[in-house]
Structure 1
């Protein structure tokens, strides 16, 4: 028979342990539900534990009136601070209730038939014992959740070097690839299953989609569920990648010599697509829009990692309306925005915005599928839809069956995996920010993407220099402003979508080059 104080010590350690894990994970990670069947988020699990304490000790032992919504406990979310304050209050109440309890006496309240718990709980002592059992069980579950949400600890770089990926395959054996926007962190189980299932069936013939191509519907549902925008039915077209969508929109909405407005620095292939088409790059916000016939809005922005605010997007919309410009909204990084920031689809600003916007996106960045070549464009402009539909159906090519299957599996079945991935990226971003604060760099923490834009490097070709001296390959900053008067020669872009162990190696090597003798 344990004493009341021993009981309170045991329950207090369980509550403190769970609260400590939630505090360690922080606001974003604590609200992530790991991609495991039946798992709750740490925030929700701790909320449920407070409901257990409040009901079993407060209502059935102390006799207080308690209104409980058990289902809501398991779907709850919010900032960690107030939840931890509730834990402190719950511990004090539990201590008071246990000290005043008569362990052999009947329950002080009538059990709710929805929360009967194990059979045979008829005394106050049994109710308090059930509280401890619940807290001990959920403390163990909380430790499992923490381990699932912690960043992936290892990456098999040898496997990556043996593959066909350019990120690792194109660098020397002693060099770490941290440049092109691929991740080292694998793919979601649902995607792997969809691809392996097709391979097992040897299903590589001409595709047939009973009921129609599932990709547009998967895209539309994903945008509605994840970003609060419901795309118009029948407006979605399938392409091989976002760069192809840009090229098609340029050719269909502008003529040689016309200006294309875009924020600079910008993704180098976008700049190249504009100039190779015989159009002019017009840096948004830095040049008048004379002769501009198309606006390209990359949001979240690459390479800066900015997630544009609604008022910023509305200002761009006003500019597009004033000059009567179609807008290509590249939103390929939309699923990689960090709290408290959020993604606002450009087409969601208004009905008028939707009618002038082509929304281009793909699962390739958030789900690590670049080589499978599949993207979608939601074409809001009626005239452009008509022109595209009037063209020969195969002139733009089409993604493979595997690309479609992987993308549908990403958008339909892989939200939990993405949430866990974002936890890894959040921790990695924090590590880069802490490191950059100690370096002689110009740096602003990215609000989205897994890319860090590093400036103030006193070398004409920072990425080439760092590859030679630190044996880490970054993307050359000057490439993000080619063909424009903007100078980004002191910058380099770092990809931090890797394991913490590899990221530590990257940052240690860069430190040696940037701060010799540190």
Structure 2
């Protein structure tokens, strides 16, 4: 048995969901029927109000009612008028439920063909029927809504920074967010959290579910078993970098990083008062790489090496030989290696990501592995990342600080991350296939080294500010190459970074706008001829 208030809580949830759907659809679409013979959302909500008025109002409360059930399923009208009726029916429904005597007989006769609860003769059984009808039709209306107004990737123009800060007539292809929604398990987990209104302090028995999901994902997906008890949860990978800079270096120390590099990493290192030691990426005529032979010379005087693998923005998946060269020099110079592996799950066949800490026990003991589900599963705003801390001295230093010094992620980020790593493998595979097709389309129309991972193309366009020119002339917003070498002597001003994680229709329009400008770019034409160059 549940109380009247509990019953009203659940029926209100169903009514709220249906109201939200017809409101979103509006007058033009709420009355549509996606298939011949199907209901419209407007008619389905009208039917539900008829159910409430007859089963609760007449059979429970004893008020006479006039009902034309067939007409309910053909109802049309203005959404505003329907919503006013909803509120009036809901208010009366609440009074009827609170006054009901569940074990007493109903005050009327149900329809002859009714095949409802076994205790159909009681008021409780009649209210149970109302609950079942509302729950069933809420689910049905969600399907109708998706048929009438599907959320296609081509139609997404979100309110986040990617689209929100871009002019209405301009296509956003800059910041690294996807236009591809999220996995059903993630959406369902978040909706369940909201429906339960479960926003108190989080609690779990035993191991942190985020940490165990991370450890299992690494083992199953990447063949690396993180050391138990050495993983901390943070808000994002940039925070992990900032924390590790403070725990491994002093002001004036060198921090090495491959350049071009994610601009906030460069800015963070500079703001901390450390020296950026750039490791230039080189285009050897076949792929982006770096000079492993001079690593020891370049890294002299550094205390921390930041290894972004897969690499943003070039899209390289560093191979085992490259990683082994880095590990050998790090061992020789006693460096801590912070490896950002946030794009690890976006590698394209035949390339496979190798976790840096998996090379050897010695390498693992000097590696801080930072990652998150936010890139591969499109969760940037939910703010959760993990750091597996191999170096004992760094772990002790972190452990000695106040437990809440760096803050903690919210419950929504935790729910989404666990759902990503536990239940969203199939969605990820489908998404990667779409991204692979998009990658190949971009490479065919704008010559450049196609990325081996990520959904980002690093394109040699030429000029001093090609991104600014293309935003003005072609109405496509790209990331300026110069941002990826700020504060270093490396020159990346002639490059742009293009985000192709969008629907095929948006991508086609984007490339149609960019191609005329590409035909005028000598650097792109040179690249099409496979000319060797470096940055």
Q: Do they superpose with TM above 0.5?
A: yes
8 Å Cα contact 1:341-1:447 kept in structure 2 = yes
Q: Is the counterpart of residue 188 in structure 1 residue 166 in structure 2?
A: no
In structure 2, distance between residues paired with 1:344 and 1:369: 23
In structure 1, distance between residues paired with 2:504 and 2:190: 28
In structure 2, distance between residues paired with 1:373 and 1:483: 27
Measured after TM superposition, the shift of residue 210 of structure 1 is 2.6
In structure 1, distance between residues paired with 2:337 and 2:410: 28
Q: Is the counterpart of residue 331 in structure 1 residue 328 in structure 2?
A: no
Aligned partner of 2:243 in structure 1 is: 248
Aligned partner of 1:481 in structure 2 is: 485
- Indicate which of 288, 300, 303 corresponds to 2:298: 288
Q: Is the counterpart of residue 225 in structure 1 residue 220 in structure 2?
A: yes
Aligned partner of 1:464 in structure 2 is: 468
In structure 2, distance between residues paired with 1:332 and 1:338: 15
Alignment of 1:152-167 (within 5 A): 154-157=152-155, 159-161=156-158, 163=159, 165-167=160-162
In structure 2, distance between residues paired with 1:310 and 1:475: 30
8 Å Cα contact 1:174-1:471 kept in structure 2 = yes
Aligned partner of 1:375 in structure 2 is: 385
8 Å Cα contact 1:327-1:356 kept in structure 2 = yes
1:311-359 superposed Cα distances (whole Å, 9 cap, x missing partner)? 1000000110111000001000000000001000000000000000000
Q: Is the counterpart of residue 277 in structure 1 residue 292 in structure 2?
A: no
Q: Is the counterpart of residue 417 in structure 1 residue 441 in structure 2?
A: no
Q: Does the residue aligned with 2:305 lie in a helix, a strand or coil?
A: strand
Q: Does the residue aligned with 1:263 lie in a helix, a strand or coil?
A: strand
8 Å Cα contact 1:245-1:377 kept in structure 2 = yes
Find the structure with the greater CA-based Rg. Answer: 2
Q: Is the counterpart of residue 355 in structure 1 residue 365 in structure 2?
A: yes
Q: Which runs of 5+ in 1 are unaligned?
A: 1-151, 438-442
In structure 2, distance between residues paired with 1:382 and 1:154: 48
8 Å Cα contact 2:300-2:333 kept in structure 1 = no
Measured after TM superposition, the shift of residue 207 of structure 1 is 1.0
* C-alpha RMSD of the superposition: 1.7
1:1-52 superposed Cα distances (whole Å, 9 cap, x missing partner)? xxxxxxxxxxxxxxxxxxxxxxxxxxxxxxxxxxxxxxxxxxxxxxxxxxxx
8 Å Cα contact 2:210-2:418 kept in structure 1 = yes
8 Å Cα contact 2:384-2:409 kept in structure 1 = yes
Q: Is the counterpart of residue 365 in structure 1 residue 370 in structure 2?
A: no
Measured after TM superposition, the shift of residue 389 of structure 1 is 1.0
8 Å Cα contact 2:256-2:299 kept in structure 1 = yes
- Indicate which of 388, 391, 397 corresponds to 1:387: 397
In structure 2, distance between residues paired with 1:312 and 1:362: 23
8 Å Cα contact 2:258-2:308 kept in structure 1 = yes
In structure 2, distance between residues paired with 1:514 and 1:410: 38
TM-score by length of 1: 0.68
In structure 2, distance between residues paired with 1:191 and 1:167: 21
1:88-124 superposed Cα distances (whole Å, 9 cap, x missing partner)? xxxxxxxxxxxxxxxxxxxxxxxxxxxxxxxxxxxxx
Q: Does the residue aligned with 1:256 lie in a helix, a strand or coil?
A: coil
Q: Does the residue aligned with 1:383 lie in a helix, a strand or coil?
A: helix
TM-score by length of 2: 0.65
- Indicate which of 338, 341, 352 corresponds to 2:351: 341
Q: Give runs of ≥4 in structure 1 deviating > 3 Å.
A: none
Aligned partner of 1:515 in structure 2 is: 519
Cα 1:297/1:305, change in 2 over 3 Å: same
Aligned partner of 1:262 in structure 2 is: 257
Q: Does the residue aligned with 1:252 lie in a helix, a strand or coil?
A: helix
1:160-185 superposed Cα distances (whole Å, 9 cap, x missing partner)? 24x2x111110110000000000000
Aligned partner of 2:458 in structure 1 is: 453
Number of residue pairs the alignment of both structures matches: 358
Q: Which runs of 5+ in 2 are unaligned?
A: 1-149, 280-290, 522-535
- Indicate which of 196, 199, 203 corresponds to 1:201: 196
Q: Does the residue aligned with 1:278 lie in a helix, a strand or coil?
A: coil
Q: Does the residue aligned with 1:367 lie in a helix, a strand or coil?
A: coil
In structure 1, distance between residues paired with 2:308 and 2:390: 17
8 Å Cα contact 1:271-1:281 kept in structure 2 = yes
In structure 1, distance between residues paired with 2:206 and 2:319: 38
In structure 2, distance between residues paired with 1:155 and 1:299: 28
Which structure has more RCO (C-alpha within 8 Å, separation ≥ 6)? 1
8 Å Cα contact 2:153-2:181 kept in structure 1 = no
1:365-389 superposed Cα distances (whole Å, 9 cap, x missing partner)? 0000000000000000111111111
In structure 2, distance between residues paired with 1:321 and 1:211: 35
In structure 1, distance between residues paired with 2:516 and 2:232: 48
Q: Is the counterpart of residue 429 in structure 1 residue 439 in structure 2?
A: yes
In structure 1, distance between residues paired with 2:453 and 2:154: 26
8 Å Cα contact 1:154-1:501 kept in structure 2 = no
